[in-house]
Chains A and B, each alone.
Chain A
Amino acid sequence: MNILEVNNVSKNYGSLYALADINMTVGDGKWLSIMGPSGSGKSTLMNIIGCMDKPTSGSVILDGQDITQLSLTDLTVIRRDKIGLIFQQFHLVPYLTALENVMLAQYYHSMVDEKEALNALERVGLHARAKHLPRQLSGGEQQRVCIARALINYPKLILADEPTGNLDEANESLVMNLLHQLHQEGSSIIVVTHSPEVAKHAETTVVLEHGKIAQIIDNLK
């Protein structure tokens, strides 16, 4: 069973092809890295998989469901129920505390549970900073809040767009450890990264160039 199947997906902005005829599959519980130069279409692909954007052509099957046929409202529901998002920029609501930011994801998903949200923050080592606003946190801490938020609803698939791009080494290994834990718990993970070190954590690495798959590397070999 595959959590994700991408079939002949293209995305163009006018005459510019951000993605051209992409085909790939991700098995249930697998970890995939996406690498490639800037502008090669990594974020574009992640946004399409994450139900935040639609391809120009082709189909995406997420957990057995063709999401390219769905309306924006239905996409919102899928995103909420199946996907945990970690963004390239750490997007947090600026006027809510770390804890409230995590609880916001619970709120839109189903029901707030402060204890559970605190546990998630504890897991990313931020229990003591639960009442801090984003601007009172460092970049690494903000990214960890985003991870706590992404895992709070037990998503089947975690999408992380350069989760360590703005972090130092210490924070990077913290974040990677967290992803490993989630992976062991059974989540499927797709990570976009520029760093070969980070990419190596995955079972497979896909390299994009000019919107096409240039190479598929098996990291286990």
Chain B
Amino acid sequence: MKEIKKSWKNIPIGGNILEAGNSKNYITGTWRTFIPRLDKEKCVNCFQCWMFCPDNSISIVENKMVGFDYDHCKGCGMCVSVCPTKAITMEKEEK
């Protein structure tokens, strides 16, 4: 997403950022070289990956691990290493 840089007249004073959590609009997914993939068959929804993902990139919907937030996943592989059933694997990302 290309961000439009604003004039000093149109930004809050003091450097305050008024929209909490707006880093979700910043894409860190481009940092990846390896990408995690989920095998839903193997996943037992233990949510270990959710707990240990540093980038809040494990998507949980209705108590089920459904995949990854690829906009923000940096491909660190931690989810792979904590998954007890080997339901997640890393593969080289084609860009």
**A and B bound?**
no
